Amino acid sequence: MKNYIKYGIILIVSLALIAFVLLKNKAENEEKIAIVAKKNASVTVKVETVKTEEISLDFVANGNFQAKQEITLTAEKTGRVTSILVKEGDRVSVGQTLAIMRGDAINANAQAANAAYQNAKADYSRFENAYKTGGVTKQQLDQSKVMLANAEANYKQAQINVGDTRIKAPISGIINKKFIEVGSMLTSMPATNLFEIVNTNTLKLIVTVNESQVANLQVGNTISVSSSVYPDKIFSGKITFIAAKADATLNFPVEIEISNNTDNDLKAGMYGTATFQSNQQKQNLMVIPRTAFVGSVNSNQVFVVENKIAKLKKITAGRILGDLVEIVSGLSDGDTVVTTGQINLQDGTSVEVIK
């Protein structure tokens, strides 16, 4: 009996010890979980320090060169091509004959129109002489004059039709594409494409600038233009157009006209950079990265980190200077603003800063 009591006491003590150990482990685990949860509640962000620095008001804008003149020449008459006088890459002048189409029927019509015109002239001359002697009435003379005018108009149109058999360049430029071959049948409805002519003597570069930049630009301003293909060459351009209305991105299209060099190095479609130089000296401005703004610069909101807490702050932004934005009010030198990770933040969120 005593042995049973002894074993029972040992069992109770063992169970109590096991329970104590389990409770202690549970408390330690809960403490670790709480630490991890607290850490996971923090949002990882990158930051920049607000500072005043010397900033140049010059800026650049990028775009693609476009030909100032570009046309796809189409057929105006129906007929078969008998001769092509140019090839792709040839430089042509306005009025130069590019191709000839067969014009047997057109030439025959022109000859018939000429004969009718000559007869109408002769008839009118006879009627005019007869009217002087009273041989015809005034009405007959007037009818003869109308017939002469119609015959003359038909003859002139026939001459135009003959001229249309010789397809001529409407602008000077380079034959960029040739769509026809000798023997091709041309139609006017629908119109057959003949040649694509591009004039690259003068190009235009279309770029976009923001509202603070466009305010200082004027039509006629001289702009330095460069191309990534020719980094050592600078081309001179002039602003020929500034949009009166912003586009969907709230930027303003600006068109710059550039005279190509004698070798026509610049090609339509190349990537170009325009450098806009300010007349003002460098200024000491308080700036922050453009990426610090919540949504966009127009929101005028940034997150400022104080004691590892993100606080949403309303500020007043000034000019956009490339990747930087001028701060008019709302921040001070030394403030820390979030530049990456704002999408996961709310006012008061704990943050962990990545160095």
Report residue 273 as tokens: 């950079």
Domain spanning 44-56+283-353: which CATH class is it, in words? Answer: mainly beta
pTM value > 0.85: no
pLDDT, residue 5, reads 64
Q: How many CA atoms lie within 13 A of 246 on its CB side?
A: 11
Q: Which of 220-224, 264-268, 315-319 has the highest mean pLDDT?
A: 220-224
Between the alpha carbon of residue 165 and those of residues 4, 6, 73, 159, 180, the distances in Å are 127, 127, 14, 10, 15
Between the alpha carbon of residue 46 and those of residues 175, 308, 316, 336, 345, the distances in Å are 54, 12, 22, 10, 12
- For the chain, where do the domains classified as CATH 2.40.420.20 start and end? 44-56+283-353
Mean pLDDT score of the chain: 84
- For the chain, where do the domains classified as CATH 1.10.287.470 start and end? 73-194
- Residue 349: phi and psi, rounded to 5, are -70, 140
- 217-242 confidence digits (pLDDT tens): 899 999 999 998 888 888 999 999 99
pLDDT, residue 39, reads 47
**Is 13 a residue whose pLDDT tops 70?**
no
Tell me what the mean pLDDT of segment 237-251 comes to. Answer: 91
pLDDT, residue 351, reads 92
In the β-sheet with 351-353, what is the strand arrangement from edge to edge? 309-314, 301-306, 336-340, 43-49, 351-353
Phi-psi domain of 224 (left: phi exceeds 0; alpha: psi -120 through 50; beta: other): beta
User: For 60-67+197-276, CATH number?
Assistant: 2.40.30.170
Select the CATH number that applies to the domain covering 73-194 from these four: 3.40.50.2000, 1.10.3470.10, 1.10.287.470, 2.30.30.110.
1.10.287.470
Between the alpha carbon of residue 25 and those of residues 13, 30, 35, 36, 316, the distances in Å are 19, 9, 15, 17, 54
- 174-212 confidence digits (pLDDT tens): 999 999 999 999 988 899 999 999 998 899 999 998 887
- For the chain, where do the domains classified as CATH 2.40.30.170 start and end? 60-67+197-276
